[in-house]
Structure 1
Amino acid sequence: MKLEKILDKLGSIEKNSFIKIIDNIISKNPKNGKVIDKILSSTDKGLKSVDNQNISTIFSLTANEFQEHIKCEFQEISSQLDILIDIIIRDGNCIIKQDWFSRLYETEIKQLKNRIKDLNADFENDKSELSASRKRDYKIYKSCLYTAYHNDIVNNRDAKITADELSIILTLSKELGLSQEEIKLINYSILPIKKLDVQEVIKSLKNIGVIFYSNKENTIYVADEMVRILRKIRKKEVAEKFFRRTLKLLREPIINQIAKEHNIDRKLSNSQKIEKLIKEGLSFTNLLAEGIHKTDSNLTERKKSLNELCEKGLQIDNLKGSTIEEKINSLIEHFENVERDEKVGISLDGFEKLLTELNLSLPNLNNAIRTQFEFQEEFVLKADFLLDYNIKPRDILDLIEKKDSTKFIKDNGVKQRGDDTLNILEHYKDVDNLYLENYENVAYRNLNLLKDNGITVKESELGIKFEDLTKIIFTGLGFNVDESLKNQLNTKKDMMDILLNLDNQEIIIIECKTSKERGYNKFSSVSRQLKSYQNLALKNNLRIVKILLIAPEFSDDFVTDCEMDTEMNLSLITAATLSNIFEAFKTSKYPTFPHVLFRDIVINEDRIIKALSK
């Protein structure tokens, strides 16, 4: 669930710890301090009086500083912060009832203790499957950690690991190729481990700002934006669902090779081994750079394997970068963009229909999904419910075994040739709604995200598509999109995109601009264009009530130039704002959108949505 949505659900006391931390970061002159000051300048009461949307924006601007704040907390070695964070960043654990969190925490401690016993037994047993080289790696790390922890006791001080010691230990673990889970097991074989009181655990997590706790609902909330920061701290470069998607494409001998390296039982089924590998907290970068290749393969062969995995397996073309490292970084960035994107890959109606028919065809799937994502609820195959956890159609399909996928395809008349997952997504795609749900991605000309969301379109068609979608939105807002009058006015030289006929010789002119670049910044050229449209309309005795310019976003300079213009009644509206206004209008009492609300220079989404809800 997005941070803004969580903040909307909570009272001021429940947000207090988080706000204090952000306030403290702001007071220390963060990197984006000037941008933050500009946001705060509208109020003289500080961050507490800022709306939730701007708090969310400020958090994104202080993400790096917040990350450093959390890293400092790891020096308190008795906090079990690594255990707790590993629980709350798992897919499906971003919204947890207190009693369920207590159960997950208790289970985690029990499993950890059992695995520590097994690991210690492997150290002593000459016949264990642990290779001699791996035992050596474990012993080196364990000896260094033991010294870092116990040298304080020897010197009659409280045992702790300093920041300098921690940085050396982390470097050592990286060079030895240890997974996060292996590190955790060795750490807690030395550090004392005991189950803490769940109320104290929740309080400590809330005090450092990583969770919110609703007293009324007895529920823990972890914002999607926070999960991404916590994953970086735990060196988990991608979400579990993307790791799974990648691992499922590998042949079983390669999975066995990786499993052997990390002391995972190769007798398990392939799916079980994949789940164990995901929970190990392996480095995604190391896996793709080293783990999936034969030990004697050269650089060219490794590049070829990686390209094939991305292009043929993950269906991602033209990854940036010439080196393996650059390509892997591009893939990680791609997965981050997919995760941030709120679109689901098929329409919401399509997702709901898919889940209904999956439940009919595969009656055991509901329990399988519950187990996989550790859900407390009984029935979980509901679109709105899953999307609150940022779980999308592709993530569900990735969990279905091949035989079940084949059965579902036959039961529901899905195309059988080609990739099963892509065929199912295509079958449940509602193209019109899907394009509207991806309106902002069309505006940004983001072909990769469009493709991931089930839309195949040529880049050359995106400008026209954006214009057509804008027409659909304004028609849905109750306006008369008058193509006939527009065509009468247009000349070969001056061709406006959209004209809204308000009757009585009154019109609204709309210009649509797509842009790959962040911050649309071409005011001089677009203003000449709009003034020519204005002159066309005035020559035909039409009164221009408003001119609207729609683009993915606008630079500060563009907004300033627009504010200084005295010749046009021009307002700027971002694609995301228009889309959100359209959604709010659907549930409002108005038969036609009251165009008088378009009165700002940059259209204020919050103000309009509040007005529509009255």
Structure 2
Amino acid sequence: MKLESILDKLGSIEKNSFIKIIDNIISKNPKNGKEIDKILSSSDKGLKSVDNQNISRIFNLTSIEFKSYIECEFQEITSQLDILIDIIIRDGNCIMKQDWFSRLYETEIKKLKNKIKGLNSDFEDEKSELSIVRKRDYRIYKSCLHTAYQNDIENNRDAKITSDELSIILTLANQLGLSQEEVKLINYSIIPIKKFDIQEVIKSLKNIGVIFYSNKENTIYVADEMVRLLRTIRKKEVATKFYRRTLKLLRDPIINQIARDHNIDRKLSSSQKVEEILKEGVSFTSLLLEDIYKPGSTLTEKKKTLNELCEKGLNIVNLKGSVLEDKIGSLIQHFENVERDEKVGISLDGFDKLLVELNQSLPKLNKEIRAQFELQDEFVLKGDYLLDYNIKPRDILDLIIKPDLTKFIKDNGIKQRGDDILNILEHYKDVENLYLENYSNVAFRDLNLLKENGITVKESELGLKFEELTKVIFKGLGFNIDESLKSKINTQKDMIDILLNLGNDEIIIVECKTSKERGYNKFSTVSRQLKSYQNLALKNNLRIVKILLVAPEFSDDFVTDCEMDTEMNLSLLTASTLSKILESFKSSNYTEFPHVLFRDIVINEERILKALSK
């Protein structure tokens, strides 16, 4: 769930710790201080009076400083911050009831203790599967950590690891090629591990600003933006779902090779090994730099293998970068862009239909998804619910084994030639709803974003498509779109886009404008056009209740000119506002949108949404 959405749910006291940390960062002249000051200049009472959208923007502008602040917290080596952060950044753990978080925490402590016992016995057992080289790496790291931790006790001080010692130890772990899980196990074999009271755990995480806790709902929230930041701190370059997607494309011998290198039981099935590699915290970059290639591969062969993996497996063509590191960086950036994108690739209706039919065809899937993403609810195959956890259609399909995927495709008459997952996504696309979800992108004539979101359209068709979608929205709001009356009064010279018939010879005229430029600013042109439509309607004895101009956005000059116009009852409506009005209207008690709410010069989105929610 996005930070803004979480902040909307919470009271001021529940947001207080987070706001204080951001306020403290702002007071120390952060890198983006000037941009932050511009946002704060509209508020006289500081950050606490800023709206949630702008708080979210300010967090993004202070993310570098916030990351440094969290990294400092890691110096308290007994805080278990590594364990706790590894729990809350897992896919599916961004919303948790307190008792569920308590259960996950308790399970994690038990697993760690058992793994530490296993690791210690591997150290002592000469016949263990651990190679001599790996044992040596473990001993080097363990000895250095032991010295860093114990030297304070010898000097009659509290045992802790300083920031300098920590940076050296982290460098050592990296050079030895230890995964995060290996590092964690060795750390807690030196540092005593104990289970803390869950209320204290929640309080500590809340106080450092990484989680929000709703007392009313007894629920923990971790913002998507925070998850990404914490992931970088834990050196996890991509979300687990994207890592899994990549690993599942590798051949079994390569998976076995990676498992052997990181002390993973090779008797497990291939899919189980993939899950264990993910749990180990093996660096994604390290994996793609070294681990996925045959021993002795040349640099050219490595580049070819990586290109094939991206193009044929992940459907990413022309990966940027001439050297291997740059290509891997481009792939990580691609996954980050996909994760940030709020669109799901198919419409929400299409997602819901896909989940219903998956549940019918594969009745065990609900249980498998719950287990995979550690979700608390009994039934989780619901589009809105999964999107709150940032789980998209592709993420669900990636978890389904090949035989089940084949069965589902046959059960539902889906095309069988080509890539199974892409064929399924195409089958459930639901083009009209997908267009509606991209209504603002059509208004801005943003072909690149439309293409990324699964829509292929010619630029010359965007104006007409925007008008068609606007009609669909007004129809959804309960208005009578009167095509016959429009045809009757239109002339070859003056052609109204949309005419809403309110009855009793009363109408609303709607004009649609798309624009690539930010801030629609052609008032003189559009006002002449609208005045001619007004005269046309008056000649036909029609009373114009309102003229609405729908565009992607409006410049300040355009709004000022509109305010000065005394001849038309004109209101300006942005595409994003109209889209949000429709969504809010669907869940309201109204059967027809009360057009009296269209009374501002620039339609006030917040006021209308509030009115519809009553």
Distance 1:298 1:578 in 2: 56
CA displacement at 1:501 relative to structure 2: 5.9
Distance 1:223 1:431 in 2: 30
Consecutive unaligned residues of structure 2, counting only runs of 5 or more, are: 539-543
Is the CA contact (8 Å cut-off) linking 2:441 and 2:450 kept in structure 1? yes
Residue correspondence of structure 1 range 132-531 to structure 2 within 5 A: 132-443=132-443, 450=450, 453-457=453-457, 465-477=465-477, 478=479, 480=481, 484=487, 488=491, 498=497, 500=499, 507-514=509-516, 520=518, 523=521, 526=522, 529-530=525-526
Is the CA contact (8 Å cut-off) linking 1:489 and 1:537 kept in structure 2? no
Residue correspondence of structure 1 range 77-156 to structure 2 within 5 A: 77-156=77-156
Is the CA contact (8 Å cut-off) linking 1:142 and 1:186 kept in structure 2? yes
Moved more, 148-157 or 75-84: 148-157
Distance 1:94 1:272 in 2: 24
Structure 2 CA distance for partners of 1:196 and 1:537, relative to 1, 3 Å: same
CA displacement at 1:399 relative to structure 2: 0.8
Aligned amino acid, residue 86 of structure 1? D
Instruction: Summarize deviations over 1:431-481 as a string: whole Å, max 9, x none.
Output: 111221233444566667655644444566556544543443344343748
Instruction: Summarize deviations over 1:66-122 as a string: whole Å, max 9, x none.
Output: 222211111111110000000011111111111121111111011111112222222
CA displacement at 1:236 relative to structure 2: 1.0
Distance 2:429 2:297 in 1: 41
Indicate the SS of the match to 1:513. coil
CA displacement at 1:540 relative to structure 2: 5.8
Distance 1:238 1:396 in 2: 17
CA displacement at 1:278 relative to structure 2: 1.1
CA displacement at 1:561 relative to structure 2: 7.0
For the pair 1:23 / 2:23, whether they are aligned, the reply is yes
Is the CA contact (8 Å cut-off) linking 1:585 and 1:593 kept in structure 2? no
CA displacement at 1:233 relative to structure 2: 1.1
Instruction: Summarize deviations over 1:387-413 as a string: whole Å, max 9, x none.
Output: 221112211111111111112222222
For the pair 1:74 / 2:88, whether they are aligned, the reply is no
CA displacement at 1:500 relative to structure 2: 4.9
Structure 2 CA distance for partners of 1:575 and 1:249, relative to 1, 3 Å: farther
Distance 2:571 2:258 in 1: 57
Is the CA contact (8 Å cut-off) linking 1:338 and 1:452 kept in structure 2? no
Is the CA contact (8 Å cut-off) linking 1:511 and 1:549 kept in structure 2? yes
Aligned amino acid, residue 113 of structure 1? K
Distance 2:507 2:75 in 1: 70
Instruction: Summarize deviations over 1:261-304 as a string: whole Å, max 9, x none.
Output: 21112221111011111111222222223222223223332222
Distance 2:147 2:197 in 1: 29
Indicate the SS of the match to 1:199. helix
Structure 2 CA distance for partners of 1:600 and 1:134, relative to 1, 3 Å: farther
Distance 1:294 1:101 in 2: 41
Distance 1:221 1:98 in 2: 10
If the length of structure 2 is used for normalisation, what is the TM-score? 0.88
Is the CA contact (8 Å cut-off) linking 2:443 and 2:513 kept in structure 1? no
CA displacement at 1:328 relative to structure 2: 2.4
Structure 2 CA distance for partners of 1:464 and 1:44, relative to 1, 3 Å: same
Instruction: Summarize deviations over 1:158-217 as a string: whole Å, max 9, x none.
Output: 222222222222222223322221221121122221111111101101111111112222
Is the CA contact (8 Å cut-off) linking 2:548 and 2:573 kept in structure 1? no
Is the CA contact (8 Å cut-off) linking 2:466 and 2:512 kept in structure 1? no
Structure 2 CA distance for partners of 1:293 and 1:564, relative to 1, 3 Å: farther
Q: Percent identity at matched positions? A: 71
Aligned amino acid, residue 609 of structure 2? I
Moved more, 39-48 or 533-542: 533-542
Aligned amino acid, residue 31 of structure 1? K
Is the CA contact (8 Å cut-off) linking 2:523 and 2:558 kept in structure 1? no
Structure 2 CA distance for partners of 1:358 and 1:506, relative to 1, 3 Å: closer
CA displacement at 1:41 relative to structure 2: 3.5
Aligned amino acid, residue 509 of structure 1? E
Is the CA contact (8 Å cut-off) linking 1:386 and 1:392 kept in structure 2? yes
Instruction: Summarize deviations over 1:334-393 as a string: whole Å, max 9, x none.
Output: 222222222222222222222222222222212111211112222222222222211122
Distance 2:169 2:571 in 1: 56
Aligned amino acid, residue 488 of structure 1? T
Aligned amino acid, residue 20 of structure 1? K
Aligned amino acid, residue 433 of structure 2? N
- How many residues get paired? 599
If the length of structure 1 is used for normalisation, what is the TM-score? 0.88
Structure 2 CA distance for partners of 1:505 and 1:196, relative to 1, 3 Å: closer
What residue in structure 2 maps to residue 63 of structure 1?
A: 63
Distance 1:403 1:193 in 2: 42
Structure 2 CA distance for partners of 1:45 and 1:194, relative to 1, 3 Å: same
Structure 2 CA distance for partners of 1:234 and 1:501, relative to 1, 3 Å: same
Distance 2:66 2:147 in 1: 30
Indicate the SS of the match to 1:488. coil
Is the CA contact (8 Å cut-off) linking 2:19 and 2:48 kept in structure 1? yes
Consecutive unaligned residues of structure 1, counting only runs of 5 or more, are: none
CA displacement at 1:49 relative to structure 2: 2.9
Structure 2 CA distance for partners of 1:167 and 1:405, relative to 1, 3 Å: same
CA displacement at 1:521 relative to structure 2: 6.1
CA displacement at 1:423 relative to structure 2: 1.9
Moved more, 388-397 or 201-210: 388-397
Distance 1:174 1:445 in 2: 46
Distance 2:142 2:112 in 1: 16
Structure 2 CA distance for partners of 1:596 and 1:213, relative to 1, 3 Å: closer
Distance 1:201 1:38 in 2: 36
Indicate the SS of the match to 2:513. strand
Distance 1:135 1:231 in 2: 28
Indicate the SS of the match to 1:512. coil
Indicate the SS of the match to 2:220. strand
CA displacement at 1:220 relative to structure 2: 1.3
Distance 1:481 1:314 in 2: 47
Indicate the SS of the match to 1:509. strand
Is the CA contact (8 Å cut-off) linking 1:581 and 1:609 kept in structure 2? yes
For the pair 1:33 / 2:29, whether they are aligned, the reply is no
Moved more, 399-408 or 80-89: 399-408
Is the CA contact (8 Å cut-off) linking 1:508 and 1:544 kept in structure 2? no
RMSD: 3.1
Distance 1:592 1:484 in 2: 24
Distance 2:292 2:125 in 1: 29
Aligned amino acid, residue 206 of structure 1? K
Moved more, 144-153 or 469-478: 469-478
Structure 2 CA distance for partners of 1:490 and 1:205, relative to 1, 3 Å: farther
Is the CA contact (8 Å cut-off) linking 2:507 and 2:546 kept in structure 1? no
Instruction: Summarize deviations over 1:239-268 as a string: whole Å, max 9, x none.
Output: 111111111111111111221221112221
Is the CA contact (8 Å cut-off) linking 1:548 and 1:573 kept in structure 2? yes
Is the CA contact (8 Å cut-off) linking 1:254 and 1:292 kept in structure 2? yes
What residue in structure 2 maps to residue 548 of structure 1?
A: 549
Distance 2:21 2:457 in 1: 44
Indicate the SS of the match to 1:96. strand
Structure 2 CA distance for partners of 1:532 and 1:78, relative to 1, 3 Å: same
Is the CA contact (8 Å cut-off) linking 2:149 and 2:160 kept in structure 1? yes
Distance 1:384 1:269 in 2: 33
Structure 2 CA distance for partners of 1:30 and 1:443, relative to 1, 3 Å: farther
Structure 2 CA distance for partners of 1:501 and 1:198, relative to 1, 3 Å: closer
Moved more, 204-213 or 503-512: 503-512
